[in-house]
Amino acid sequence: MKVDRRDFLKIIGVGSTAAAVSGCTFQGLGTALQLTQEEKYPEPGPESWVASTCGQCFGGCGILVRKIAERAVKIEGNPANPVNRAGLCPLGQSSLQLLYNPDRIKQPLLRAGQRGEGKWETIDWDKAISILSGRLKEIRQKGEPHTLVLVSGKERGLLSGIFQRFLEAYGSPNFISGAPRDPMDIARRIMEGTERSTYDLENATYILSFGLNLLDGWRSPVRQMRAYANMRQGRPGRRGRLIQVESRLSVTAANADEWAPINPGTEGVLALGLAHVMIREELYDKDFVRRHTFGFEDRVDEKGLWLAGFKTVVMEDYTLDRVAKITGVGADRVMRLGRDFASAEKPLALFGGRSSNSSFSAMAVHSLNALVGNIGAAGGALTEPRGPLPSWPAVAKDGLAQKGQAMPRVDQARKREPSAGNGLESLADAILSAKPYPVQALLVHGANPLFTASNRKKMAAAVMKVPFLVSFSPFVDETAAFSDLILPDHIYLEKWDDEPGPRGLPFPYIGLRQPVVEPLYQSRHSGDVFLALAGELGGELAKAFPWKDVKECLLDRFKRIYESGAGTVAEGEFEAPWIKFLEERGWRYPATATFEEFWEKLQAKGSWWDPAAARGGETRGFMTPSGKFEFTSSKAGRRQPFPRYEAPRFSGDEKSYPFYLNVYTALALGEGSGANQPFLQEIVGPHVNMHWDSWVEMNPETARRLGIKDGQWVFVESPSGKVKTRAKIYLGTMPGVVNIPLGQGHTAFGRWAKGRGVNPLDLIGEDYDQMSGLAALLSTRVKVYKA
């Protein structure tokens, strides 16, 4: 049957807290939908709009939620928000299907059978908090607070701060972020001494992107799209150019001026080939290199040893013929790209690969930015400005907390360099080996490691070894399914929170998240759960959290920002120059007489920002030992990585497994968090006419040679596993490469996600970038054959 407009409103939440999908055709989208018989249409009520901040990703987009009576019925972008200016990506638009999802957990659950068996006992919150606080007290009484581990999907913001403060007062050093890390951040940490990376995309005139999904989900999707539009059309008569270098014709490549296909894992050598052209033809910025860099020329160290500089290495080892042979990019094109990049007014090079050599490749790419002198310059690579984000009073740690905090982190096993960050994948090794010590309790919030970890089979074995596992997921996802206790968090539309600016934003920003509807079920804000836990545990832990709830904590944070005198509530697109003009002269715009007035305005508009703190003009500031950009380290005797090509490692021999496997993320599903929303399932693969499923993209000639037709079922097999999916012939696939999107293949996570498609991580061989510890997702060879 067809669904009319009234039924459509019912599905997205008007008149239903459990609108469901699966049995009738949704007109216009073709989605299968099923309506429950007991649903009733709402009575007419007053209309209102509430400002908040989207929580579907870390993009920081402001939203306006339309309500009829007390029910949310539509979400739009907030024009006052400086990140998205009324724009909104599909994730934000589909948020009502998150709120009114029929598979939400309605109250705390206690495991009643074996782990993973799916048997649960519903309990009230008093009992749930008592169980959790009891286990944490027991661990502390044994003198082992360091054996508590918390995995969080976020590393910044109010809630993350509460988690980390709790662990500090409790005595555990083990806050592990499941948020993805950027190889360019690693490169900038090594070469500049900071990884607070941002890029002036709006003012760049030539962007050379090496495998970065700039227009398909990177960092803040709407902000990147707006920046790209400004680069292309925001300056009359000066159209910027985008060159995309990667093995697949992605959304970014399809929108670029030029797509340069390249052999997987060889982006770094191409970057050094471009550097060869720029140095040989003296097209680089000699003044910047002379004044602001270290290690470009040969030198003699303190021990009298001669050390080759970047210039010598590039000129001797990265000739055009060698670069062309390794990368598959013709020598003529390498020469042209090098000349074009060097001659552009404001060129910018970016990298986003995830091979076993990703850090070296990122360093090679970032070397191009140094050669053109765009670091700290308009249109180039900038450092993220710091806003007046106030810190809380220091935690007064008791003896147990001090002892626990001094213990090594459980994820240190894979730290090769100081630049390496928290390692989600290395957690599995630490648990299984019980080194440096056994993990007694694991708390998971906003992450699903049993689905997203590249070594998820090992992670599943590790989870079974942890004595006590707690999930805060609002859904029974793969990790929650194996938990001992589930304490469901609110959906973001039901709670107070903040959203710091997404990584790469050129100005300080905080989005306010406020409840637009009352909680539909007996879920609870995870921050309030931790405040309650601190009270139960007592002592210095209780003293560390003087707030009665998260809202009071949030008010305290914004009051400190207000008292700093910096920034203002964001109101419109044309206010930035005026704010900057006034702040530079000691005035505040717009003036608010009291914090109460500021808070009321913030709730109405939805965000705070400080455009006056944004970088302007050229600023050279490096936190390295030499005080300069370092092609190689100035520290004598320290083993320092050098921008060079390191051949990528691949699991599987070329004869048995002839194809490189490229796994990629699409905006709709990301790494899988959007798979339980029908609107997102509908738009997952428009370029190959696929939805609600997975596929493997094949080059037409490759498919013809194997006798495989479009839409045919095939097996994709690696040394690590085998999956069955449909073959899709895609002209944007290089010969010798096959592509599978991430996001499908759930074994839990609700009716719209479970049992659909395959998870290509089942094929990935376990390997890591040795410098950063980042999982090498592009490190596997496969074979494809008819099912």
CATH code of the domain in which 305 resides: 3.40.228.10
CB 499 within 8 A of CB 157: yes
Output the six-digit token pair for 451.
């689905």
- Among 562, 486, 478, smallest CA distance to 524 is for 486
pLDDT band at 302 (very low <50, low <70, confident <90, very high): confident
Residues 394-407 as b or e (16 or more Cβ within 10 Å = b): ebebbebbeebbeb
pLDDT band at 774 (very low <50, low <70, confident <90, very high): confident
pLDDT the model gives residue 667? 87
- Shared-domain flag, residues 746 and 696: yes
pLDDT the model gives residue 28? 32
SS3 content of the chain, % helix, strand, coil (to 5): 35, 20, 50
Task: Decide the pairing of beta strands 241-245 and 258-260.
Answer: parallel
Question: Bigger pLDDT: 26 or 258?
Answer: 258
CB 295 within 8 A of CB 634: yes
Residue 46 lies in a domain: no
With pLDDT > 90 as the criterion, what percentage of the chain qualifies? 62
pLDDT the model gives residue 18? 34
CATH code of the domain in which 163 resides: 3.40.50.740
Sequence-distant (6+) residues with CB within 8 A of 60 are 53, 54, 83, 84, 220, 223, 499, 500, 501, 502, 505, 509, 511, 607
pLDDT the model gives residue 329? 95
With pLDDT > 70 as the criterion, what percentage of the chain qualifies? 88
Phi, psi of 58 (to 5 degrees): -100, 25
pLDDT band at 12 (very low <50, low <70, confident <90, very high): very low
Query: Helices (H) and strands (E) in the chain — how many of each?
Result: 25, 32
Give the torsion through C-alpha atoms of 578, 580, 584, 589, to 10 deg: 60
pLDDT band at 614 (very low <50, low <70, confident <90, very high): low
Residue 560 lies in a domain: no
CB 359 within 8 A of CB 183: yes
Question: Bigger pLDDT: 635 or 643?
Answer: 643
Identify the residue whose tokens are 């495998």: 211
CB 60 within 8 A of CB 36: no
**Is the predicted pLDDT of residue 577 greater than 80, yes or no?**
no
Residue 30 lies in a domain: no
Residue-number span of the structural domain to which 778 is assigned: 659-786
Residues 70-102 as b or e (16 or more Cβ within 10 Å = b): ebbbbbbbbebbbbbbbbbbbbbbbbbbbbbbb
Sequence-distant (6+) residues with CB within 8 A of 777 are 354, 454, 663, 761, 764
List, for residues 384-437, the tens digit of each pLDDT value.
777 667 778 899 999 999 999 999 999 874 444 444 555 777 899 899 999 999
In the three-class reduction of DSSP (H, G, I as helix; E, B as strand; rest coil), residue 309 is classed as: coil
How far CA 581 is from CA of 83, 561, 588, 613, 716, in Å, comes to: 21, 20, 10, 11, 59
**Is the predicted pLDDT of residue 280 greater than 90, yes or no?**
yes
Residue 11, judged by CB atoms within 10 A of its CB (0-12, 13-18, 19+), counts as buried
- Shared-domain flag, residues 207 and 277: yes
> Using CA atoms, how far apart are residues 97 and 92, in angstroms rounded to an integer?
10
- Shared-domain flag, residues 209 and 160: no
Average pLDDT of the residues in 434-462: 93
Alpha helices in 110-200 (DSSP H): 125-141, 158-170, 183-192
- Shared-domain flag, residues 431 and 406: yes
> Using CA atoms, how far apart are residues 373 and 371, in angstroms rounded to an integer?
6
Compute how many other C-beta atoms are within 10 angstroms of the C-beta atom of residue 490.
23
Domain count for the chain: 3
**Is the predicted pLDDT of residue 200 greater than 70, yes or no?**
yes
Sequence-distant (6+) residues with CB within 8 A of 335 are 277, 320
Residue 293 lies in a domain: yes
Residue 67 lies in a domain: no
CB 443 within 8 A of CB 148: yes
- Shared-domain flag, residues 372 and 403: no
> Using CA atoms, how far apart are residues 424 and 774, in angstroms rounded to an integer?
9
> Using CA atoms, how far apart are residues 663 and 671, in angstroms rounded to an integer?
10
Residue 67, judged by CB atoms within 10 A of its CB (0-12, 13-18, 19+), counts as middle
Identify the residue whose tokens are 């070397």: 367
Task: Report the DSSP beta bridge partners of residue 209.
Answer: 244, 350
- Shared-domain flag, residues 292 and 169: no
In the three-class reduction of DSSP (H, G, I as helix; E, B as strand; rest coil), residue 432 is classed as: helix
Phi, psi of 693 (to 5 degrees): -165, 175
List, for residues 493-542, the tens digit of each pLDDT value.
999 999 988 877 878 899 999 999 999 999 999 999 999 999 999 999 99
pLDDT the model gives residue 46? 83
| Domain boundary, last residue among 511, 546, 581 | 546
pLDDT the model gives residue 776? 86
Lowest mean pLDDT segment, chosen from 116-125, 352-361, 518-527, 620-629: 620-629
- Shared-domain flag, residues 703 and 782: yes
Residue 674 lies in a domain: yes
Task: Report the DSSP beta bridge partners of residue 509.
Answer: 609
- Among 658, 728, 743, 667, smallest CA distance to 697 is for 728
- Shared-domain flag, residues 366 and 418: no
**Is the predicted pLDDT of residue 490 greater than 90, yes or no?**
yes
> Using CA atoms, how far apart are residues 161 and 173, in angstroms rounded to an integer?
14
- Shared-domain flag, residues 373 and 401: no
Residue type, 76: E
CB 497 within 8 A of CB 607: no
Task: Report the DSSP beta bridge partners of residue 705.
Answer: none
Task: Decide the pairing of beta strands 721-729 and 713-718.
Answer: antiparallel
> Using CA atoms, how far apart are residues 256 and 242, in angstroms rounded to an integer?
5
pLDDT the model gives residue 564? 85
> Using CA atoms, how far apart are residues 476 and 17, in angstroms rounded to an integer?
18
pLDDT the model gives residue 19? 34
- Shared-domain flag, residues 227 and 342: yes
Average pLDDT of the residues in 183-198: 84
CATH code of the domain in which 733 resides: 2.40.40.20
CB 118 within 8 A of CB 105: no
- Among 478, 405, 466, 404, smallest CA distance to 430 is for 466
Sequence-distant (6+) residues with CB within 8 A of 236 are none
CB 559 within 8 A of CB 594: no
Average pLDDT of the residues in 240-252: 93
Output the six-digit token pair for 209.
């992107």
> Using CA atoms, how far apart are residues 439 and 451, in angstroms rounded to an integer?
20
Average pLDDT of the residues in 269-282: 96
pLDDT band at 374 (very low <50, low <70, confident <90, very high): very high
List, for residues 16-62, the tens digit of each pLDDT value.
333 333 333 333 333 333 333 333 344 566 889 999 999 988 888 99
List, for residues 454-474, the tens digit of each pLDDT value.
888 899 999 999 999 999 999
Output the six-digit token pair for 282.
């003296």
Region for 81 from its dihedrals, namely left if φ exceeds 0, alpha if ψ lies in -120 to 50, beta otherwise: beta
List, for residues 703-757, the tens digit of each pLDDT value.
999 999 999 999 999 999 999 999 999 999 999 999 999 999 999 999 999 999 9
- Among 725, 720, 785, 784, smallest CA distance to 757 is for 725
Residues 29-49 as b or e (16 or more Cβ within 10 Å = b): bebebebeeebeebeeeeeee
Identify the residue whose tokens are 């006798």: 707
Mean pLDDT of the chain: 86
Q: DSSP of 745-787, one letter per residue?
A: -BSSS-TTTBT-S--GGGG----B-TTT--B-SS-BEEEEEE-
- Among 514, 420, 456, smallest CA distance to 187 is for 420
- Shared-domain flag, residues 401 and 259: no
Residue type, 759: N
- Shared-domain flag, residues 142 and 261: no
Alpha helices in 646-699 (DSSP H): 678-682
Phi, psi of 628 (to 5 degrees): -130, 170
Residue 691 lies in a domain: yes
CB 660 within 8 A of CB 781: yes
> Using CA atoms, how far apart are residues 476 and 492, in angstroms rounded to an integer?
17
- Among 92, 11, 16, 23, smallest CA distance to 54 is for 92
How far, in whole angstroms, is CA 605 from its chain's centroid?
26
Query: Which of 35-44, 85-94, 191-200, 334-343 reaches the highest mean pLDDT?
Result: 334-343
Residue 308 lies in a domain: yes
CB 608 within 8 A of CB 563: no
pLDDT band at 615 (very low <50, low <70, confident <90, very high): low
pLDDT the model gives residue 385? 76
Cis peptide before 590 (omega within 30 of 0): yes
pLDDT band at 291 (very low <50, low <70, confident <90, very high): very high
Average pLDDT of the residues in 158-176: 95
Lowest mean pLDDT segment, chosen from 37-51, 70-84, 300-314: 37-51
Q: What is the CA radius of gyration of the chain?
A: 26
